[in-house]
Amino acid sequence: MTEEIVIVGAGTGGSVLANDLAERLDAEIDAGDVRVTLVNDSPDHVYKPVWLYVPFGKRESEDGRRPLSQLVDDRVDLRIDRVIDVDTDAKRIEYRDGTGPNEYDHLVLATGSTLAPDEVPGLREGGYDFYSEDGAEALREELLSFTEGHLVLSVVGTPHMCPAAPLEFVFMADAWFRERGLRDDVDITYTYPVNRVHGNPNIAEWARPKMDERDIAVETFFNAEEVDPDEQVISSMEGSELEYDLLVDIPPHRGVDLIEEAGLGDRGWVEVDKHTLEAKHAEDVYALGDTAATGVPNAGSVAHYQAGVVGQRLASHVRGYPATETYDGKTLCFIETGMDEASFVEFDYENPPAPAPPSEKLHWSKLAYNEAYWLTARGLL
Amino acid sequence: MTDAAYDLDKTVDARGAACPGPLMDLIGAIKSVDSGAIVRLRSDNEQSTTDVPEWTEESGNELLELVETDDGYDFYVKKA
């Protein structure tokens, strides 16, 4: 009987895992003993970090899109469909169009993050974001014609994708307006929900002096409660208000409803053992990337490393060996600190980040990685 | 004092979460309850012992008690 491995979601985590399993289980797949199915509700793979550059006119949204059929190994059964129900007791899946296997032996949830701007009244109408393709393009239209006034970047909630991106955005905006001779006419304010400029104390301690040097105003303990799009005011539950001319927000994030409905965790995040990535509330279910509530950043590097761990563990299960690989929290991240300089951090569950001094070389390394990313998605890098 | 001494409206278990997860979980819970409600936050993150008191003071909510437990801390917060 064929052992069914079903991966839901073909972002970084799902795609890397599918390609990893195609390599590891080559012989078993060829013999018909194992089938790896990858289900995604769009035919395209999206590399979201490109969106950071779109508002500044540096990249186009389509630079971050490629057909999954070009990235996923032929040994993987790729289905363009949407999973609408998971029954972890019966180990069954239901699909919108019914194209995939209904029973699974091993299920991996890699469904990622979705944006939930409607959780804050007025946010959808009053703010712009660069966390979606449409949002980044709309923000580009606004930013290109913005020559004076108050730009507010508000991190509305955490966790959110790429925790460094809000810092990157204000550093890039500062440099971009300076280069164009407009900085004296543009005020920039950055808000964050806790009492520092980033969730991680080490990164916050590194970033704060840079913001002060560049006259980027900071409002901490600012949990956005409401936006008045007519008056152009954002107010916080701590009682402060900020008037803005252009509001760039990091909207609240959620996972997909499917996960909460299956009893696997709240707000669409699967509760997992943070080392094995196995779901706490179901057998033979893994989660990785943004979907797994491990406490590490929602970042592509995390999904990449976790995919390798899950791949090894699944291959061991299939072959009847003990699964030994574990995830240690490893995260790598480039952080743009202007338009031509960047920093870099590497950390894990035990070792905190120590950001590298910003340099032009690291900036070009980030851009080079963005180009090379497609090799990551194909499982080659 | 134990949770039995409080008429709890909600408990948020953020043990195992990295910073700022526990505080964000508390803020989310406070948003979802009525004025006067009492929320218990469970956290095993040392940073919470400074983050939570600072936020409750800033936001005008009341930290009723911080109890050290065998595996972390329990914070009892009353919504303003």
* Residue B4 banded pLDDT, cuts 50, 70, 90: low
Alpha-carbon distance A339 to A351, whole Å? 29
Distance from CA of A335 to the nearest CA of B (A): 19
pLDDT of residue A29: 98
pLDDT of residue A158: 86
Q: What number is the ipTM of this complex?
A: 0.89
* Residue A66 banded pLDDT, cuts 50, 70, 90: very high
DSSP string, A76-90: SEEEE--EEEEETTT
Is the pLDDT at A93 greater than 90? The verdict is yes
Average pLDDT of chain A to the nearest whole number: 97
- Flag whether residue B32 sits within 8 Å of chain A, measured between CB atoms: no
Query: Which token pair is A361?
Result: 């070389």
pLDDT of residue A1: 86
Is the pLDDT at B1 greater than 80? The verdict is no
| pLDDT tens track for A224-269 | 999 999 999 999 999 999 999 999 999 999 999 999 999 999 999 9
**Matching residue, tokens 């995260």:** A331
Average pLDDT over residues A68-84: 97
pLDDT of residue B44: 94
Amino acid at B59: S
pLDDT of residue A334: 97
Of B21, B54, B55, the CB nearest to A295: B21
Q: Residue B23: its chain A contacts at CB < 8 A?
A: 193-194
- Asked if residue A253 lies in contact with residue A269, where contact means CB atoms within 8 angstroms, the answer is no
- Flag whether residue A195 sits within 8 Å of chain B, measured between CB atoms: yes
**Given an 8 Å threshold on Cβ–Cβ distance, is A237 in contact with B23?**
no
- Asked if residue A64 lies in contact with residue A23, where contact means CB atoms within 8 angstroms, the answer is no
Minimal Cα distance from A160: which residue of B? B21
- Alpha-helical runs (H) found in chain A: 12-24, 26-30, 68-71, 123-126, 133-144, 165-179, 201-213, 257-261, 300-319, 360-377
Of B19, B21, B60, the CB nearest to A201: B19
- Asked if residue A119 lies in contact with residue A21, where contact means CB atoms within 8 angstroms, the answer is no
Q: Residue B47: its chain A contacts at CB < 8 A?
A: 201
Dihedral of CA atoms A243, A244, A247, A250 in degrees, nearest 10, equals -40
Choose, out of B33, B47, B57, B58, the residue to mutate when testing the contact with A (most A CBs < 10 Å): B58
Average pLDDT over residues A188-193: 97
Q: Which positions ≥6 away from A35 have C-beta within 8 Å?
A: A2, A3, A4, A5, A29, A77, A101
| Annotated catalytic residue B63 | no
Is the pLDDT at A352 greater than 90? The verdict is yes
Alpha-carbon distance A255 to A265, whole Å? 10
Residue A115, phi then psi, degrees to nearest 5: -90, 140
The whole model's pTM is what? 0.95
Average pLDDT over residues A6-32: 98
Residue B44, phi then psi, degrees to nearest 5: -115, 20
With a pLDDT cut of 90, the percent of chain A lying above it is 97
Query: Which token pair is A250?
Result: 């990091």
